[in-house]
Amino acid sequence: MIHSNKNNSMFVPEVVVQRIPIYIRILQEELKYGNTVISSKNLGKRLQMSSAQIRKDLSYFGKFGKQGQGYPIEFLVEKLKIVVGLGQKWNACIVGTGRLGQAIINYPGFSPEGFKIVAAFDSNNIKLDSSADSIPILGMESLSKTIKQKSINVAIVSVPALEAQKVIDLLVFEGIKGILNYAPISPKVPNGVVIRNIDPILSLQSMTYYLKES
């Protein structure tokens, strides 16, 4: 959990923090539809949540709307981006440049959202003379120097499962505080390091809970 920006005595539950980027995405979609105001009821429908939960989530960060009038969408997007730190740019690196790593590097969606992949690393010497989307692929021995030189804040890990914990430990040692992990493991990190695990198999397995009776 993290501190609210309202006062230091209020904590924001982790589940609320994880919902804020989803709010932002839906609100941006509503702007594209030409809507300028949205009610907690309609926002709740988009998220399959109650309007009361929407209001409670947003109340951690301030007052954004007036009762009976809804939320001004553009204003709410701007404020929520500040809440989750999207008012600044984040330099990222990727470790592991196999097929998944190459796909992540070539994905165009990171930069518009404030994340710029500025370096790529791999232990495979065959790849070290190549580049991915004009980003040179460096050896792991260059990790420490490059993180400092390029002021890297975030790391993306797309290495095989057997190598993932070792790579994550190294990133933590080098001062990385935010890690996006694509390896199919549940890695250990110390307090103060935020890690998010992306595992489509787990998502599929949880989905089949609802399908098994069909």
For the chain, the C-alpha Rg in angstroms (whole number) is 20
Where are the domains positioned within the chain? 2-83, 90-201
pLDDT tens-digit readout, 40-84: 999 999 999 999 999 999 999 988 866 778 899 999 999 999 998
Query: d(Cα 174, Cα 37) in Å, to the nearest integer?
Result: 44
Query: d(Cα 165, Cα 191) in Å, to the nearest integer?
Result: 16
Question: Which one of 3.40.50.720, 3.40.50.300, 3.40.50.2300, 2.60.40.420 gives the CATH number of domain 90-201?
Answer: 3.40.50.720
Query: d(Cα 195, Cα 197) in Å, to the nearest integer?
Result: 7
Q: Taking the domain 2-83, which CATH number applies?
A: 1.10.10.10
pLDDT tens-digit readout, 141-169: 999 999 999 999 999 999 999 999 999 99
Q: 178 pairs with which residues across the strands? A: 154, 194
Query: d(Cα 210, Cα 110) in Å, to the nearest integer?
Result: 32
